[in-house]
């Protein structure tokens, strides 16, 4: 896992990404999850200000809250405390990020888990405390080939097959906001997948080369 010093060195240099004309929060999703009906949830202007991150952010215990829509699983996993990974919790996360269809699991890259946690924890600082939806984690080669045959976006040498990629979303956040945040960590590839409909699109994040694309 990357050290706190390594994360602080890279920082959270968030990019503008043309967001001036793009809603930061999906209004429909926000309305259904706020306590006050009819009130849209709006992130503060400094959501993209790297200076808001202090050292306490990186040294506090790390709990990842996830949902697997395919299996209906929900979990809150404390996996890092006092500078060390909790092995039993790491194993639980590897299971949660398994190939649900192929019924197989693999050791997930700890750097991927760290990026998932940091993204969720960052937006939680602004009151957006919502689970991270894991649409796809590890994929067996057979599952990956099946997606390709079905016309679903999937690379033939996908990092999903080595436990180094995940497709995720956070209810209420647009692809631009979540993708921009993940991209700011500079820990690998980020794919922006825009989709219409009540659930919207998703963000692909991996621990490969730093690159971005839209699908």
Q: Residue 76 pLDDT more than 70?
A: yes
Query: Would you state the pLDDT for residue 97?
Result: 98
Q: Residue 107 pLDDT more than 90?
A: yes
What's the DSSP call for residue 99?
A: B
Distance between CA 207 and CA 209 in Å, rounded?
Answer: 7
- Whose CA is closest to 93, among 82, 71, 109? 109
* Higher pLDDT, residue 36 or 106: 106
Distance between CA 27 and CA 200 in Å, rounded?
Answer: 12
**DSSP output for 33-89:** HSSSTT------GGGG-GGG--HHHHHS-EEEEEEETTTTEEEEEEEEETTEE-HHH
Q: Mean of the pLDDT values across residues 62-75?
A: 96
Query: Would you state the pLDDT for residue 159?
Result: 97
Both structure tokens of 41: 């949830």
Mean pLDDT in the chain?
79
Specify whether the CB–CB gap between 137 and 99 falls below 8 A.
Answer: yes
Q: Residue 38 pLDDT more than 80?
A: no
Distance between CA 163 and CA 211 in Å, rounded?
Answer: 18
Query: Would you state the pLDDT for residue 81?
Result: 96
What region, left, alpha or beta, does residue 160 occupy, with left being phi > 0 and alpha being psi -120 to 50 degrees? Answer: alpha
- Whose CA is closest to 45, among 27, 8, 26, 20? 20
Distance between CA 34 and CA 128 in Å, rounded?
Answer: 10
Query: Would you state the pLDDT for residue 195?
Result: 86
Query: Would you state the pLDDT for residue 211?
Result: 95
The CB density around residue 106, as the number of other CB atoms within 10 Å, is 18
Per-residue pLDDT reduced to its tens digit, 154-193: 888 899 999 999 999 999 888 988 998 898 888 899 999 9
């Amino acid at each position: 896992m990357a050290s706190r010093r390594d994360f602080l060195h890279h920082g959270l240099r968030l990019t503008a990404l043309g967001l001036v004309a793009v809603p930061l929060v999906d209004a429909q999703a926000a309305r259904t999850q706020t306590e006050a009906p009819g009130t849209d949830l709006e992130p503060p202007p400094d959501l993209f200000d790297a200076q808001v991150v202090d050292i306490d952010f990186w040294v506090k215990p790390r709990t990842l809250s996830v949902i697997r829509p395919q299996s209906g699983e929900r979990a809150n996993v404390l996996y890092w405390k006092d500078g060390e990974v909790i092995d039993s919790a790491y194993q639980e996360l590897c299971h949660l990020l398994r190939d649900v269809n192929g019924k197989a699991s693999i050791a997930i890259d700890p750097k991927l888990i760290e990026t998932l946690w940091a993204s969720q924890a960052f937006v939680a600082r602004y009151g957006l405390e919502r689970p991270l939806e894991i649409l796809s984690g590890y994929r067996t080669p057979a599952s990956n080939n099946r997606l390709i045959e079905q016309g679903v976006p999937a690379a033939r040498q996908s990092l999903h097959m080595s436990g180094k990629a995940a497709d995720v979303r956070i209810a209420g956040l647009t692809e631009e906001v979540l993708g921009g945040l993940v991209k700011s960590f500079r820990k690998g590839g980020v794919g922006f997948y825009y989709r219409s409909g009540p659930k919207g699109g998703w963000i692909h994040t991996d621990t490969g080369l730093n690159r971005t694309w839209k699908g």
